[in-house]
Amino acid sequence: MRNIDTIANMAITRVRMIDTTRTENPVPARGRSRGIPPALERYEVKKTRIIHEAVQVISQLFGEHSILVGGQDAANFGLTYHAATLKEISFGYFDYRVRVELRNLKVDSYYLFMPTSGSGTFQLKNCELRTSTIGAFIANPGTHFDLKLEPDSPHLFLRISPKLVEHQISRALARTPTDPVQFDCSFDLSNAYSWRWHTAVQLLHEELYAQDSLSHNPLRISALEEYLVATLLLLQSSNYSTCLQPVGIERSSRTLRLAIKYMQENLDQDITLEEIASNIGISPRSIQKAFREELHSSPMTYLRDLRLDRIQLEILSSPDKMIKIGTVARKWGMNHYGRFAKAYKDRYGESPSETLDGLG
């Protein structure tokens, strides 16, 4: 099993540390917020004092919803909304100035909300969570919620595509995940490890702020986005937290070690679960149980993903574009091209020919 921390370190090799002593104790409330982060100042999307215009523009984030504003607050209402989109991540800021309530919000991506001042209360079906400058809220795709914002409670948000999260999980586990990642909604930004997250967000801020020739280079952006998601997966509890612990295959059960060893030695053969069981002297049922409990996968799915990784590696290692993809697939036991092509695209987000074309 590949440790996702290695992926994070490979993606970004040099980061500027942030002094985290300020997060060791609750942050006192300020008289007023600091305003729009410098990196987002030139990414204004909307500024309006008209409530229905605010609903329309924020619907781009949260779908159709309604805004409730008290009589006295209505006169001072004003939305400020800035957002920058990279490839698979958007970074933004919104502020309504006054006390408001947003109802019937729904998200189709992963969202992380971080107040820069004040607080917000996120009401879900079965729980309520209050955000602050040391506590964020994470919404998983498909989450429905209401949001109450106190006066002067601007929030930063990150929108992360499910595709990117699945890609990082697949790389970390060396297999296709069986279920979508579901993060715990409460994200503590004051614990001993939170400096990693602050560092990741600071890197994003600095990249958006930069105006040099390297700014927004696709290679840099992809590495930065992967670093952000890898950091989030490491720090925040989810249904994959146990799998992401730094436990190598050598510490797994004997059944799993023997089965995977046999697979790796026979990737180019048309092997079945029964053949694996017969050759390692363990019943098929026990092998299935080990893969299900330790890797949340099936033996044959794991075998397929090992083959796909080997095929992709051979394509990427090709010195030119004359390589025959079908020949490589059959070499590694993928004899049905249609099924192979679909599995490849599901795993890597592109077809085998697109991978080959990308070699330039």
pLDDT at 257: 86
Q: From CA 157, how far away is CA 58, in angstroms rounded?
A: 12
Answer yes or no: do 160 and 127 share one domain: yes
Q: Is the model's pLDDT at 7 over the cut of 50? A: no
Answer yes or no: do 303 and 229 share one domain: no
Query: In the listed set 185, 219, 247, which residue is the last one of a domain according to the structure?
Result: 247
pTM value is 0.63
Q: From CA 277, how far away is CA 297, in angstroms rounded?
A: 17
Task: Render pLDDT for 257-310 as a digit per residue (tens, 0 to 9).
Answer: 899 889 988 988 889 999 999 999 999 999 999 988 888 889 999 899 889 888
Which residue shows structure tokens 């074309």?
Answer: 357
Task: Render pLDDT for 57-68 as a digit per residue (tens, 0 to 9).
Answer: 999 888 899 999
Query: In the listed set 247, 273, 308, which residue is the last one of a domain according to the structure?
Result: 247
Confidence tier at 30 by pLDDT (50, 70, 90) = very low
Domain count, the chain: 2
Answer yes or no: do 93 and 224 share one domain: yes
Sheet containing strand 89-95, edge to edge, reads 44-48, 79-85, 89-95, 155-160, 110-115, 135-139, 186-188
Answer yes or no: do 3 and 119 share one domain: yes
Q: Which domain holds residue 145?
A: 1-24+31-247
Structure tokens at 111: 């969202």
Task: Render pLDDT for 233-253 as a digit per residue (tens, 0 to 9).
Answer: 989 999 988 777 654 444 568
Q: From CA 21, how far away is CA 190, in angstroms rounded?
A: 9
Answer yes or no: do 238 and 300 share one domain: no
Q: From CA 184, how far away is CA 11, in angstroms rounded?
A: 25
Query: In the listed set 247, 282, 299, which residue is the last one of a domain according to the structure?
Result: 247
Task: Render pLDDT for 326-360 as a digit per residue (tens, 0 to 9).
Answer: 888 998 889 899 999 999 988 888 888 887 776 55
What is the dihedral sign for C-alpha 248, 254, 256, 261? positive
pLDDT at 261: 87
In 39-176, which ranges are continuous DSSP H helix? 51-62, 71-74, 162-173
Q: How do strand 110-115 and strand 135-139 relate by DSSP bridges?
A: antiparallel
Answer yes or no: do 285 and 202 share one domain: no
Q: Is the model's pLDDT at 214 over the cut of 70? A: no
Answer yes or no: do 101 and 165 share one domain: yes
Answer yes or no: do 70 and 188 share one domain: yes
The CATH number of whichever domain residue 140 belongs to comes to: 2.60.120.10
Amino acid (1-letter code) at residue 248? G
Structure tokens at 349: 């987000």
Q: From CA 248, how far away is CA 6, in angstroms rounded?
A: 12
Contacts with 142 (C-beta within 8 Å, 6 or more apart), sequence order: 106, 107, 108
Task: Render pLDDT for 132-181 as a digit per residue (tens, 0 to 9).
Answer: 988 999 999 999 999 999 999 999 999 999 999 999 998 888 778 888 99
Answer yes or no: do 210 and 151 share one domain: yes
Give the length of the chain.
Answer: 360
Answer yes or no: do 268 and 185 share one domain: no
As a whole number, the mean pLDDT across the chain is: 84
b/e map of 119-135 (b: 16 or more CB within 10 Å)?
bbbbeeeeeebebbbbb
Answer yes or no: do 239 and 263 share one domain: no
Answer yes or no: do 38 and 15 share one domain: yes
pLDDT at 166: 93
The CATH number of whichever domain residue 310 belongs to comes to: 1.10.10.60
